[in-house]
Amino acid sequence: MDKYVYFFGNGTEGTEGDASMKETLGGKGANLAEMCRLGIPVPAGFTLKCEVCDLYTKNNNNWPEGLKEQVEANLKKLEESMGMTFGCSENPLLLSVRSGAAQSLPGMMDTVLNLGLNEKSLQGLIKRSGSTRFAYDSYRRFIQMFANVAMEVDHDKFEHVLEAVKEIKGVKVDSDLDADALQEVITGYLEVVKSTTGQEFPSDPMDQLTMSINAVLRSWNNDRCVRYREMNDIRGLVGTAVNVQAMVFGNLGETSGTGVCFTRNPSDGENLFYGEYLMNAQGEDVVAGIRTPNPISTLAETDKKAYDELVAIRTNLELHYKDMQDIEFTIQDGKLYILQTRNAKRTIFAWLRTCVEMVDEGLIDENTAITRMPAGEFNKLFAPVLDGGDIQSKGIKAVTEALNASPGGASGQVFFSADDAEEAAAQGKKVMLVRIETSPEDIGGMAVAQGILTARGGMTSHAAVVARGMGCPCVSGAADVKIDYNAKKMNINGVEIAEGDFISIDGFTGEVFGEAIQVKPSEIVQVLNGELKEADSLLATNYNKFMAMVDRKRTLLVRTNADTPKDTEMAVKFGAEGIGLCRTEHMFFEGNRIISMREMILAENTADRETALAKLLPMQREDFEGIFKALNGLPATVRLLDPPLHEFLPHGDAGANEVADTLGIDPEVVKQKVRALHEENPMLGFRGCRLSVCYPEILEMQVRAIIEAAINVEAAGTKAQPEIMIPLIGHKEELAILKAKALEVIEKVFSEKGTKVDYKIGTMIEVPRAAITADDVAEEAEFFSFGTNDLTQMTCGFSRDDSGSFLPTYVKSSIYEYDPFAVLDQDGVGKLMETAISLGRKTRPDIKLGICGEHGGEPKTVAFCHKIGLNYVSCSPYRVPVARLAAAQATI
């Protein structure tokens, strides 16, 4: 018989679970068991393991065989442990039934409290509490909660009864109802249940328990819960555990109370006991906001004993879990009970500070600090923030709060369409794009926006994904935001905001503000840029401490993808150890260069092409000089021209006429060329090394520019380490031919200049054929850099531009766990990389290996790259720190 139910209580001997069993018992259940083992006062109970939920659902909402017996046996044990009896008229055991999955889904599932009350046990509760009113009120609440959760009776129906009684009795607030009045309410409630459901309210406590457990199990698949998991991208859970626990009451009078506390500050991580409580209250009162809770420090005055005990438990739990805890407690008649502990959620700022300080305190070692740091959130450290001082001084309150879809603070004027946003941005306005939801057509507006706010869509919606990709703050799924596109205005909880009005969003918290708020750059960025002293920023100090730990640990190097000296400088400040991908094509778009580039493309013979290329040479050389200088001796992998030539030509007649005018040629020639260069599948077309195979003079110019720049920079005293990367190689012979041409140019430049520099020649591995034949390719290549964007496109057969029509369905259907363009497809593309590595090393054991696709900054991919033995990953400048972190995590 499978074991479905785990008891907790009665100290270590009596407790069957422990903290390690989170996947089995859910977070709450595992931690309740652990606390019992630690001797912390926890009301006893038992946990139905998560798998039960899955079995129940698959079995058409029936319990698996044996579960009933196990629940009964555990209930028996619980009665014995508490010295109380379920449903008894003397000292009745009351129960809470709560959900608790392996990951937290706050408030999404159902809970039943005060379970076990009926006419008989009610008498017992009166006796025990000494308060008829309390007992009746408990019963009333139970009926309402149970009937709603387990019997699907609308809340409203009960509210009507309550209102009616209040009217009859002439009272205004619930708490003024006396025991008799509550008696009438109870009678009314029971009638509501009967008339609505056609069934009597179950008086058998065992029926109540069964029905409550079922309600909690079913709530795993309620719309709200499913939607929450979708919105927060929570996957891979089998279901929720169910925790059945003896009730304790914080509302038995002024010697009772309840509260929530954190062992440290969850907002900034400061090591200070932090929390709130209310006396004579139940848990829901603390969060409901009707009464203002007291700061935890004042509990010392109210109930010194309980406070001291709580402080001791705080220490005990933190020492035990070696992490910051989020603790729920109840004081019943002066006795402290802990109802829950869990590792506290916290901001990335709190993560940084707690990790660093806990290492300093000796609580954890560096490995633990590194492992814990949420790599997926690490980039938030560098996002701009809303100025808290400004918010406080202006006394601004959020108008709504929704999903923190992309981190950072942003403030600006509202526009409701991408076109309007673009127009306003062009006029120099700071723009906030507000949409019901975004689609690919909004990209232009998103690109110019300071921040994005959407009324619909979760953490993986178009807006959220694109905003994160752009590093643009975004709050999504703000259901309270009612947009009227025609009137160009919106209403947020009563606040009217029209086009051009100012709003601010906090992408860290999901808060939306109806006014302008100042935005500050991240302190870390200010320090890296020398605009702020490290000593003046605790955040930057901790950041540097933490990154030092990270760098001590990691073996994988981190380079950057940068095409300009400016980007390169920033990346080096972020810790980049070289350039892994310098895309030369971007350089051709600037200023006059595009003219020469077009001249080159429109050339009708080699001589004309060479003339145009000669004009580009000094500009390219200057680019590379700037980059080599910015790198100050670090290596730079420079990729030769890659995109299809049509990308450099204008589309449309007006553009063609303009180009023809500039170059002084017949517009028909330009149009003809555009037509000739049109391709059905440009991704698989005339690009990459294929350009140089057909027009070697392009490669010759670029190689000359690189080598001349390196020589010039070295002459000025800075070491240059150019690595010439030939893209889109599919066949060894392509590389052999082009490498020979490159070597010819290099030797020529060396002899012209009378000096030499070090260099390497290698290739991108981005065509599957190159990966499969990497042993051959390695004969010519000194390094491989995996271009995982294209490699994914060709290996999986997905066009990145077009996959929007089916990839979301694929991810939803779990065909791919993640979008393979965001997280490397390890089983497919990754396997091909492993093949290429092992073949490449067979030919050239010391071949240098890196990755330069956009996956290079994605933590799961970085871990994979470490595992398969790459020398480095390369990513955009702002992702360098997270890549360093992920590289360190991968070693542990």
Question: To the nearest whole angstrom, how small is the minimum distance from the Cβ of residue 816 to its own copies?
Answer: 7
Q: Does 165 bind its own copies (CB under 8 A)?
A: no
Helix (H, G, I), strand (E, B) or coil at 520: strand
Q: Is 434 helix (H, G, I), strand (E, B) or coil?
A: strand
Name the one range near its own copies by CB under 8 A: 237-245, 350-358, 579-587, 770-778: 770-778
Q: Measured between alpha carbons, how far is 886 from 892 in angstroms, rounded to an integer? A: 10
Separation in Å, CA 143 to CA 87, 113, 122, 139, 192: 15, 10, 12, 6, 10
- A 10 A CB-CB count for 441 gives 10
Q: Which of 852, 855, 865, 875 is catalytic?
A: 852
Which of 364, 829, 836, 862 touches its own copies by CB under 8 A? 829
Which of 71-79, 213-221, 757-765, 831-839 is the region at the interface with its own copies (rule: CB under 8 A)?
831-839
Q: What is the distance between the alpha carbons of residues 251 and 685, in angstroms, rounded to a whole number?
A: 74
Question: Quick check: 494 binds its own copies (CB under 8 A)?
Answer: no
Q: How many residues does the chain have?
A: 892
Strand 557-561, strand 579-583: pairing: parallel
For its own copies, the binding residue among 803, 826, 874, 889 (CB under 8 A) is 803
Q: Which of 603, 772, 822, 823 binds its own copies (CB under 8 A)?
A: 772
Question: If you search the block for the tokens 């819960």, which residue do you land on?
Answer: 225
User: C-beta of 650: minimal distance to its own copies in Å?
Assistant: 18
In one-letter notation, the amino acid at residue 50 is: C
d(CA 335, CA 332): 5
Contacts of 705 (CB under 8 A, 6+ apart): 616, 617, 620, 621, 623, 624
236 binds its own copies (CB under 8 A): no
Query: Is residue 90 a contact point for its own copies (CB under 8 A)?
Result: no
13, 604, 827, 846: which one contacts its own copies (CB under 8 A)? Answer: 827
Closest contact distance (angstroms) between CB of 638 and its own copies is 21
* Eight-state DSSP code of residue 558: E
Residue 406 or 795: the one with the smaller Cβ distance to its own copies is 795
Q: What is the DSSP letter of 647?
A: G
Q: Does 799 bind its own copies (CB under 8 A)?
A: yes
Sole window of 219-227, 424-432, 478-486, 797-805 interacting with its own copies (rule: CB under 8 A): 797-805
CB-nearer residue toward its own copies: 524 or 691: 691
Q: Confirm whether 462 is a catalytic residue.
A: yes
Does 864 sit near its own copies (CB under 8 A)? no
Residue 794 binds its own copies (CB under 8 A):
yes
SS3 label, residue 97: strand
| DSSP-derived 3-state class of residue 212 | helix
By the rule CB under 8 A, 734 interacts with its own copies: yes
Q: Which of 53, 355, 462, 474 is catalytic?
A: 462
Q: Can 852 be counted among the known catalytic residues?
A: yes
Which three-class secondary structure string do you get for 826-876? Answer: HHHHHHHHHHHHHHHHHHCCCCEEEECCHHHHCHHHHHHHHHCCCCEEEEC
| β-pair partners for 279 | 257
Cα dist. 801→5, 308, 631, 780, 821 in Å? 50, 61, 33, 32, 11
Q: Which is nearer to its own copies, 660 or 728 (CB)?
A: 728
Tell me how far, at minimum, the Cβ of 736 lies from its own copies, in Å.
9
Taking CB under 8 A as the binding criterion, the range among 263-271, 575-583, 709-717, 827-835 that sits at the site for its own copies is: 827-835
Whichever of 257 and 730 has its CB closer to its own copies, that residue is 730
Q: Do residues 636 and 719 touch, judged by C-beta distance below 8 A? A: no
DSSP line for 327-377 = EEEEEETTEEEEEEEEEPP--HHHHHHHHHHHHHHTSS-HHHHHHHS-GGG
User: CA–CA separation, 440 vs 158, rounded Å?
Assistant: 47
For residues 120 and 137, the answer to whether their CB atoms sit within 8 Å is no
User: With respect to its own copies, which residue has the nearer C-beta, 623 or 776?
Assistant: 776
Give the contact letters, 658-697, x = binds to its own copies (CB under 8 A), - = no: ---------------------xxxxxxxx---x--xx---
Please tell me whether residue 802 binds its own copies under the rule CB under 8 A: yes
* Cβ closest to its own copies, residue 274 vs residue 798: 798
Q: What residues numbered 833-862 form the site for its own copies, per CB under 8 A?
A: 835
State how far the Cα of 390 lies from the Cα of 520, in Å rounded to an integer.
10
From the list 101, 89, 105, 213, the residue with the least C-alpha distance to 150 is 213
Determine, following the binding rule CB under 8 A, whether residue 818 of this chain makes contact with its own copies: no
Give the residue from 313, 315, 308, 280 showing the smallest Cα distance to 294: 280
Stretch that binds its own copies, among 75-83, 97-105, 830-838, 842-850 (CB under 8 A): 830-838
Q: Which of 303, 567, 599, 825 binds its own copies (CB under 8 A)?
A: 825
Applying CB under 8 A, does 488 fall inside the site for its own copies? Answer: no
- Terminal-to-terminal C-alpha distance of the chain: 38
Provide the total of helices (H) and of strands (E) in the chain, helices listed first: 36, 33
Q: DSSP code of 285?
A: H
- Region binding its own copies by CB under 8 A among candidate stretches 187-195, 364-372, 561-569, 803-811: 803-811
- Binding region for its own copies (CB under 8 A) out of 218-226, 414-422, 500-508, 824-832: 824-832
Q: How far is the CB of 743 from its own copies (least distance, A)?
A: 17
Residue with smaller CB distance to its own copies, 218 or 741: 741
φ/ψ of 459, rounded to 5, equals -70, -15
Q: Which residues pair with 385 in a beta bridge?
A: 520
The number of beta carbons lying within 10 Å of the beta carbon of residue 89 is: 16
Q: Which region, judged by CB under 8 A, interacts with its own copies, from 99-107, 507-515, 589-597, 724-732? A: 724-732
- In whole angstroms, the minimum distance from the beta carbon of 373 to its own copies comes to 32
> Least distance from C-beta 808 to its own copies, angstroms?
10
**Alpha carbon distance 445, 423 (integer Å):** 9
Binding flag, residue 56, its own copies (CB under 8 A): no
| 100 vs 727 by CB, closer to its own copies | 727
User: Shortest gap between Cβ of 741 and its own copies (angstroms)?
Assistant: 12
Closest CA to 404 of 265, 570, 233, 173: 233
744 binds its own copies per the rule CB under 8 A? no
Selected binder of its own copies within 660, 728, 873, 880 (CB under 8 A): 728
The first and second tokens of residue 121, run together, are: 């046990």
Binder among 312, 815, 838, 842 for its own copies (CB under 8 A): 815
Pick from 289, 809, 845, 846 the residue near its own copies by CB under 8 A: 809
Closest approach, Cβ 561 to its own copies, in A, equals 21
Catalytic residues: 462, 852
The residues binding its own copies (CB under 8 A) are 679-686, 690, 693-694, 728, 730-731, 733-734, 737, 766-769, 772-773, 776, 790, 793-799, 801-803, 805-806, 809-810, 813-816, 825, 827-829, 831-832, 835
